[in-house]
Structure 1
Amino acid sequence: MIDVQDSGSDERLRRIEAVTDAALSQLDVNDLMEELLERVREVLKVETAAILLLDVHAQQFVATATKGLGTEVRQGARTSVGHGFAGRIAQEKQPVLLADLAATDDPDLFAGGVRSLLGVPMLAGGEVIGVIHVGCLQPHQFTSVDVQLLQLAADRASLATRTRASGLDRTAALALQRSLLPTHLPDAPGVDMAARYVPGHDAGVGGDWYDVFTLPSGWLGVVIGDVSGHGLRSAVVMGRLRSALRAYALVCDDPASALTLLDRKIHHFEAGSLATVLYAMISPDRTTIQVSLAGHLQPILASPGRPAEALTIPVDLPLGIGPRQPARRCTEVAFPSDAVLVCYTDGLVERRGEIIDEGVERLRAAVEPGSAEKVCARIMSMLAGKQATDDIALLAIHTADRILPEPRNPEAAA
């Protein structure tokens, strides 16, 4: 802590307030860094100031904001980690003072006329995410108070940088998920379909997804799944699983075989990830459904004249549990005329303080035969609260006009 009670305390307090002013929070991140450097130059009475952020993948420092520096540290310039003054600060993870800069300390800054430097690391979780340094064009002795003030500025810049990174992650995750969730379901003869997706957390994105596709054989592939976790990583894993399952669906004759391959893919390429998945195949004539469940909730089927029911389908282990698992099973069920199949993720039925069976029973009671859009609308109005606590994915498929088999010959057609 800086002692503001000794002589000159009012001036020190003013200097502290200059770099911790709450008004800075109202600025755009780039404007905040520019303003922060301007204030640092004023309170420390220095000629140059710069913020360099670490590009982890390139292992380079990128000059993000600069004051009083020319081409030697122009904005956007890159410096390899481990080189120059910024590299030394990052390596030592503590402030570095150079009262008499030599060409060997940082050739670029020395060539620009800088003769004294003070720099501190920007830290997040104990790791260096950037460096902030100031310099004088004449030899200068920086004080411990100067160090503490610059560290305050670095902490402020670090917080702003993390906030921006979090926002970029959220934007990227939203863009990714929106690109993967169908904007409209495919037109498939013999069925009408509808779906809903509701984010259940601040990030607005997670690992839930649904998918429908027509296979070359005429079968209709239906998928709904849930990758554990939230945010960008879960969305990325979800995207990979979605694409992989589509590929496996082209070479597998049944859902269980496709999920077996998908499980192998997770163990090899997505170690540590877990997912529950329902994969169903609806026959070309839309009279039967083959279903395999990898840890996923059993779908609901509602037929005319009968209460809706959760299909009695065995549930195998989720994907990603372990390399050795019992063979995955596939169950075939009838798909009656004018029936509706409802697939969903657990966010729709799970509630704190109750067993999930109670939520499934509420869903079962809410499902009635009808068009897919009406079924989805009714379910959401009855079960989805104003503020979801987990992602909700819902997919309804209703058998519409049956597909008649192709006649074998013209006489049969007559």
Structure 2
Amino acid sequence: MDPRYFFFILFTLPTLLFGQINENGIKGYFSFDICEAVDTTDVIFSDYGGGVSGNIIRQAGAMNCVMDCSIRGNSFSMNGLDEQIVFFSGFQSVFNTSDFSIGFYFRPDPGVTKMNLFTKAEMCADSASFTIDYNPSSNQIEATLAQNSSIRTKVTGKLDPDRCWQHVTFVRDDRNSILYINGEQADLATASTRINAKNSSVLVLGSNLCIDRFRGLIDEIAIYDRAINANDVDDLFFHPEEIINRDTTIFLGGSVQIALSKNCADSYQWSPNAEINDATVAEPLISPTATATYQVDMISSDCTAKDEIMITVLDPDDLDCTEVFFPKAFTPNSDNLNDFFRINNPYTIDELISFEILDRWGSRVFFTDNPFEGWDGNFDGQVVNPGVLLYRVRFVCKGVEQTQVGSLTLIR
């Protein structure tokens, strides 16, 4: 087959495209969302980056844009035979000695042989190179950064067997090579010296230099000329194929309306299927009579993604509402651990009349009548100094109003 060349047209980064993505140091972002057929063989790609360009080599006449299975907008399909994406000017020096990061989504077709995702190498021997490969037999990613046979790092990470779309980020930070899978750090390796991976080759997605070309879908490629941090990596992970509702608690007789994030399923199956209004739809209404964990299979022709939610059911008649429980201390430092001082058993309260927190002089620094609302340690937009404070809560238990007073320790 006669391969054809097709161009990425790259412009300035608009904030609206990325939302929460940190644009600092980004060299190129390839979403494949604008993909228009000019004729039977040509495709125009309009995307965003720092003045870089690249070509797509693909089967003549093929239409590679996939609209019904992607992370956002379109994804790009590669046949594993004669198609690859070649990144030209603007990228080559990024992978020499400087820090860099590359993140992307991929959804491989079923297979048993190792496939290349990214390569910047002149030969297969132990020479200066950068490669990211997918090994289906071990279900893992293997990323190698090398100067020669002795100065090199290799990091590996297992993919999530319950996902079809997988997100991979490789970060080179000085002598460290760090691999993230689906937003979580999977591996770290440190070289004896800073690796110089300089070579004359271009960066290629789906090279067949050493192993098979990648076969499957690719989406949302981000390339940075800096080492991004864990928060940046998390921003690149959009949580596809997940139940948006997280584990939750309801009263007996209540229901949970399920919401799913974007996925490529052709059909759905929920289990257990009892107490679900329709176990074959994506987003059913679940009305459990007892605590249970529900699993959804998001089924497509070549892959099944899975997720689950635990719904805890409370019977109000079984709850003891005579005492309200609080933590003795809390640390509002934005680490997502004990950042709020709140009622630990809000479901036991028939009615919350008031929940107040007072400083040592008796001045009120927090008030709510919502049993699920907590205090973040601030007052009038200013942080409250560490120390001991008082709380006072008035609530109704089985028709009787009660008052409970206690102390708390704010730690910073």
**TM-score normalised by the chain length of structure 1:** 0.28
Which is richer in strand? 2
Larger of the two Rg values belongs to structure = 1
**TM-score normalised by the chain length of structure 2:** 0.28
Which is richer in helix? 1
